[in-house]
Amino acid sequence: MGRCKEIEIKVIPASVANPFVRRHHYSGKVVNNSQLHFGAFLDGNLHGVLSYGPSMDKSKVIGLVEETPWNGFLELNRMAFDEYLPRNSESYCIGATLRMIRKQAPQIKWVISFADGTQCGDGTIYRASNFILTGINRNKTIILMPDGSAVAGLTLDQQLPTTKARYDRLCGLDPSKSYTINDYIRGGAKVMQGYQLRYIYFIDPKWRKRLTVPEIPFSKIDELGAGMYKGERVPQVQRHEIKSAAQIEREKK
Amino acid sequence: MAKQIKKLEDLTPDSNNFNRHTEFGSKLLEDSLRKFGAGRSILVDKDGNIIAGNGVVETAAAIDLTDVEVVRTDGKKLVVVQRTDLRLDSPEGRELALADNMTALKGIDIDLDKVQETLGDDLAKAWGMEIISPDQFGDTFSLPDGEKSGIVTVSLMMSAEQAEKFKAALKDAQDLEEYKYLETFGNTNQSGNAAYLIASQWADARK
pLDDT digits (tens, 9 = 90+) for B84-95: 999 999 999 999
Tell whether pTM > 0.90: no
Beta carbon pairs, A and B, within 8 Å: 66
- Is B40 among the domain residues? yes
Q: Answer whether B111's CB lies under 8 Å from B20's CB.
A: yes
Q: Least CB-CB distance to B145: which of A12, A71, A180? A: A71
Cα separation, B149 vs B112, in Å, equals: 44
Q: Using DSSP, state whether A81 is helix, strand or coil.
A: strand
Q: Are residues B101 and B124 in the same domain?
A: no
A21 interfacial to chain B (CB closer than 8 Å)? no
- Given an 8 Å threshold on Cβ–Cβ distance, is B148 in contact with A9? no
Range with the lowest mean pLDDT among A236-250, B25-39, B142-156? A236-250
Q: Answer whether B160's CB lies under 8 Å from A182's CB.
A: no
Residue B132, pLDDT > 70, answer: yes
- Is B189 among the domain residues? yes
How many structural domains is chain B composed of? 2
pLDDT digits (tens, 9 = 90+) for A13-57: 998 999 899 888 887 788 877 899 999 999 888 999 999 999 988
Among B106, B129, B157, the domain boundary falls at B106
A182 interfacial to chain B (CB closer than 8 Å)? no
Residue A139, pLDDT > 60, answer: yes
Alpha helices (H) along chain B: 23-36, 54-62, 91-106, 112-119, 121-126, 160-174, 177-180, 190-206
- Is B143 among the domain residues? yes
A175 interfacial to chain B (CB closer than 8 Å)? no
- Is B32 among the domain residues? yes
Q: Are residues B90 and B124 in the same domain?
A: no
Q: Are residues B123 and B101 in the same domain?
A: no
pLDDT digits (tens, 9 = 90+) for A205-230: 999 999 999 999 988 888 877 777 76
| Alpha carbon distances (Å) from B76 to B4, B72, B119 | 20, 11, 25
ipTM of the complex model: 0.70
Q: Are residues B139 and B90 in the same domain?
A: no
A175-198 burial by CB neighbour count: b if 16+ within 10 A, else e?
Answer: eeebbebebbeebebebbebbbbb
Which amino acid appears at position B154 of this protein? V
A42 interfacial to chain B (CB closer than 8 Å)? no
Q: Are residues B26 and B75 in the same domain?
A: yes
Q: Are residues B101 and B123 in the same domain?
A: no
Distance from CA of A107 to the nearest CA of B (A): 6
Q: Are residues B60 and B29 in the same domain?
A: yes
Residue B54: which domain range?
Answer: 8-106
Q: Are residues B92 and B140 in the same domain?
A: no
Distance from CA of A128 to the nearest CA of B (A): 24
- Is B166 among the domain residues? yes
Q: Write down the mean pLDDT value for chain B.
A: 90
Residue A2, pLDDT > 80, answer: no
Among B106, B139, B157, the domain boundary falls at B106
Among B64, B82, B106, the domain boundary falls at B106
Q: Are residues B27 and B76 in the same domain?
A: yes
| Alpha carbon distances (Å) from B138 to A8, A37, B134, B141, B150 | 10, 12, 8, 9, 34
- Is B190 among the domain residues? yes
Q: Write down the mean pLDDT value for chain A.
A: 85
Residue whose C-alpha is closest to residue B167's, from A63, A169, A183:
A183
DSSP state of A203: S
- Is B111 among the domain residues? no
Range with the lowest mean pLDDT among A134-138, A181-185, A213-217, B50-54? A181-185
Please give the radius of gyration of chain A, using alpha carbons only, rounded to the nearest integer.
19
Q: Are residues B193 and B140 in the same domain?
A: yes
Residue A237, pLDDT > 80, answer: no
- Given an 8 Å threshold on Cβ–Cβ distance, is B137 in contact with A12? yes
- pLDDT, greater one: A252 or B164: B164
Q: Least CB-CB distance to A9: which of B139, B145, B164? A: B139
Q: Are residues B102 and B125 in the same domain?
A: no
Q: Are residues B12 and B102 in the same domain?
A: yes
* A70 interaction partners in chain B (CB closer than 8 Å): 147-148, 151
Q: Least CB-CB distance to B148: which of A71, A107, A180? A: A71
